[in-house]
Amino acid sequence: MKQRQIVMVLYTKSSALDSEVVGWATYDGTGKKFHHPGDLDDPPYKTGLEAMLDGWRVIQISQLVQPYPGAEYNTSFLPFEIVLEQLVEVE
């Protein structure tokens, strides 16, 4: 059997793995499921730690970057990102 990777990106309220998920994306390397932004009303997991407890492996967590003085209330990208993976068997 071959293995394929499923990647999930979780955006959280802070850099902590147990912080609440506020955005997410999933990419299925098996080709069995296709996800689109906004296709789920609720996140697949409430926290990154919950995903880890379900067997997802952490690849990367967000780097902490000091906000620039005066820019605390500017709208920008979601800075706290956790990238996780699962390896699944395919035929």
For residue 61, the model assigns a pLDDT of 84
pTM of the model: 0.82
pLDDT band at 38; cut points 50, 70, 90: low
Is pLDDT of 31 > 90? Answer: no
- Rounded mean pLDDT, 44-71: 88
Pairing of strands 2-12, 21-28: antiparallel
| Of 8 and 77, more confident | 8
Which one is predicted more confidently, 64 or 27? Answer: 27
What is d(CA 56, CA 79) in angstroms, rounded to the nearest whole number?
21
What residue spans define the domains of the chain? Answer: 2-90
